Amino acid sequence: MALATYLTIGAFLVVPAASHAIPLWQEASAGAPVEKASSLPELSPIATKAMSAVVSISTVQAAESSQETAQSFLDPEDESQKGLGSGFFVHPAGYLVTNAHVIEDVTGVRVSLRIDGVTREYPARVVGADPPTDVALLKVEADRDDFPILPLGDSDALGVADWVVAIGNPYGLSHSVTVGVVSYKGRTDVMPAGRDGYYDYLQIDASINPGNSGGPILNTRGEVVGIANAVNAVGQGIGFAIPINMAKQVLMPLLTEGKVARSWLGISVEDLSPQMLRGLGLPPTLAGVMVSEIVRGAPGEQAGLKVGDVITSFDGVRVNDAQRLRWLAAVGGAGREAQVSLNRQGHAVHLTVSLAPMPNDEPQVSWAQPDDVGLVVRRVDVPAARTAGLALPIGAQVSSVKQGSAAEGAGLKKGDVLLKVDEHTIYAPDALSQALAKVRRGETVRLVVRRGAETLFIAMRRP
């Protein structure tokens, strides 16, 4: 897969969905005709109208080399590193969309916007984030419900060479506008920053740069059809945007749950190549993906899928590449039954698969060095941050406490979120390990812990 670079600069209570007077986002008018122009479109009115709904996002990030001095979580004035990104409002109550990597491992988020020529700045909290699609939902902390919003369009209706407008915050230059065309659709062979995820990019040639991450890509009707995400670091005029139709499928779970629960088939698949088709004796025009591996006991095996099967459609949707099937299975919904059509040794076969929840394979991290404290911790996700009353998912959450250990003796419990060790702010589990490694044996450390809605100060002696 090709590598790309993200466009970011720099190293709580949630309103229930049922309480919204209008949907979380505004859809484009159904059935509205797509205008076909014989000359260049009038883009100035589109950009002018959209400008007030686009925001600049600034974040405070932990310094990689100095955990001691990075105290911005508890002391916002002591900032270590700053990051920049973009975003746009989708609901007048202050809900806005950006990239998940814009707010990853940060200790503070502020949003700057311009309405009626006046620039205003507000703090924001993370409502939900989904790293596999790199989509995040934020909520501006302001006592108002009249923020300007952008309607979400239909990225599937875009065609190659259609005009698009990008608005964002490149290099801190807020509300910058560039224009271009869609260069390609369905770009799945791009891996931003080497990360795995669900990529089905729109490739555009509108100029986007670091700081554009999370900004809207608009069609000629002023509707958001993409979210600026990555750029080819060595190319010119090669940018990538998340299709808005993909983002729509994760926004409501982010609002209600803070994360996206996915389903799975439990199989590995490969794109078909001409050589594979010849080797299997299949027609050269056959489109689909070949099953290369099946997890024992997973939904795919239970439904009767076999290695060598060529899956041609999933739940009535044609499947032409592995990434497409992976996405369809992930958003299919655990507990649902899906219809799978396939070619098995030249014969058409139809199966029914009962999708299961995707296993959580997030690794847990033991932070004791040496392992004498008795804690296993993991990253804090957005739901855990909500439970702890945190605006941002930072800290280290206790997964288990060893019986008879120093951690148990200090009163630590499963579910606790550790925020500080002495003067060291804990942004992630590895920071916890680093902080403890600096404590001598026999010394007592002071821990700041969130347990539910309470902040506790706990003393623990290192054996």
334 forms beta bridges with none
Domain count, the chain: 3
Do 443 and 412 belong together in one domain? yes
Identify the DSSP state of 74. T
CATH number of the domain encompassing residue 418: 2.30.42.10
- Residues 87 and 53: their CA atoms lie apart, in Å, by 9
pLDDT at 21: 47
pLDDT at 19: 43
Do 319 and 217 belong together in one domain? no
- Residues 166 and 177: their CA atoms lie apart, in Å, by 6
- Choice among 52, 72, 101, 309 that is catalytic: 101
Closest by Cα among 181, 245, 190, 135 to 41: 181
Q: Where among 231, 257, 283 does a domain terminate?
A: 257
Do 371 and 353 belong together in one domain? no
User: Could you tell me the two tokens for 429?
Assistant: 């589990």
User: Could you tell me the two tokens for 443?
Assistant: 């010394």
pLDDT at 386: 83
Mean pLDDT by 10 residues, the chain (463 residues): 62 40 69 58 91 92 40 37 86 95 88 88 93 94 91 94 94 92 89 79 92 95 94 82 94 92 91 84 87 92 93 93 91 92 91 89 45 81 84 86 87 91 85 83 90 90 84
Do 330 and 302 belong together in one domain? yes
Q: Where among 257, 291, 309 does a domain terminate?
A: 257
In sequence order, what E strands does 233-336 have? Answer: 239-243, 263-264, 267-271, 289-294, 310-314, 317-318
Q: Is 91 a catalytic residue?
A: no
- Choice among 105, 134, 200, 205 that is catalytic: 134
CATH number of the domain encompassing residue 95: 2.40.10.120
Question: Cα dist. 15→20, 94, 257 in Å?
Answer: 8, 11, 11
Do 61 and 183 belong together in one domain? yes
Q: Where among 228, 257, 286 does a domain terminate?
A: 257
Do 301 and 412 belong together in one domain? no
Do 80 and 165 belong together in one domain? yes
Do 352 and 374 belong together in one domain? no
- Cβ-contact 182, 124 below 8 angstroms: no
pLDDT at 369: 41
- Cβ-contact 289, 269 below 8 angstroms: yes
Domain of residue 241, residue span: 2-257
- What is the CB-side half-sphere exposure of residue 354 using CA atoms within 13 A? 3
Do 245 and 146 belong together in one domain? yes
Q: Is 72 a catalytic residue?
A: no
- Residues 7 and 192: their CA atoms lie apart, in Å, by 10
Do 156 and 236 belong together in one domain? yes
pLDDT at 158: 94
pLDDT at 70: 26
Q: Helices (DSSP H) in 341-452: which residue ranges?
A: 382-387, 406-410, 429-437
CA–CA–CA angle 386, 383, 8 (5° rounding): 95
Do 51 and 164 belong together in one domain? yes
179 forms beta bridges with 165
Q: Is 134 a catalytic residue?
A: yes
Do 328 and 393 belong together in one domain? no
